[in-house]
Amino acid sequence: MTLPFPPADEIARLTARMLLEIEAVHFNAAEPFTYASGLKGPTYIDCRKLISYPRIRSTLMDFLSATVLRDAGFDAFDNIAGGETAGIPFAALVAERLELPMTYVRKKPKGYGRNARIEGAMTEGQRVLLVEDLTTDGGSKLSFVDAIRDTGATCGHTAVIFYYGIFPETTQRLADHGVKLHHLCTWWDVLAEAKAQGFYDEATLSEVESFLTDPRAWQAAHP
């Protein structure tokens, strides 16, 4: 296993550039996106697109694996778990690089058979890394972590490609649950690269920056 270990700021810049190049990033101030919460915003990201771009997918999985090794330790995990559904392909790719077993966690029990939430072999005492595509406020991660811990395994780390980075309570919310977040880039990295590379017009970028600076105030002004 040979992985690149570039500085974190370079990983963030390159990750942002790749997301922009494949149009996984969408900025639209004129017609804001409606999120699952019902609130609106001028930004949207689709990390699932990455699985269709082999070179970019491979590079980002190298980056994610290297980030976890550098920040969590080189012998910190026994099992890599993906969160249903978006985290599953990325967990498989990270597990391959780290030469570790892979499992995945269902959002809820499947309702028949073993009624399991964990698919694959996860055993008591294993140290599990939860892999997902992104995190907004960290909420969905807690349910996955609890399902992992219910097996008797431990889960003190989660790794994502993209972290919104605009809700200050996120890392504390995870930390209060005993989980450390590892990520490659944030909306601020994407905005900086979009400006540097000339993606989008100045008015759109200005509106996006206003949203990122105070998303709650922006949403209140755009019901």
Q: Tell whether 130 is in a known binding site.
A: no
Q: Is 141 annotated as contributing to ligand binding? A: no
Is 59 annotated to bind a ligand? Reply is: no
Determine if residue 75 is labeled as part of a ligand binding site: no
State yes or no: 124 annotated in a binding site: no
User: Is there a binding annotation on residue 136?
Assistant: yes
Q: Report whether 133 belongs to an annotated binding site.
A: yes
CA distances from 95 to 65, 78, 92, 100, 202 (A): 9, 10, 5, 5, 41
165 is in an annotated binding site: no
Strand 118-119: give its sheet, edge to edge: 118-119, 102-105, 79-83, 127-135, 154-163, 180-186
Establish whether 142 is an annotated binding residue: no
Is 110 labeled as ligand-binding? yes
Confirm or deny that 138 is annotated as ligand binding: yes
Any binding-site annotation on 49? Answer: no
Binding site, by residue number, is 106-107, 110, 132-140
Binding site for 5-phospho-alpha-D-ribose 1-diphosphate, by residue number, is 106-107, 110, 132-140
Binding site for orotate, by residue number, is 136
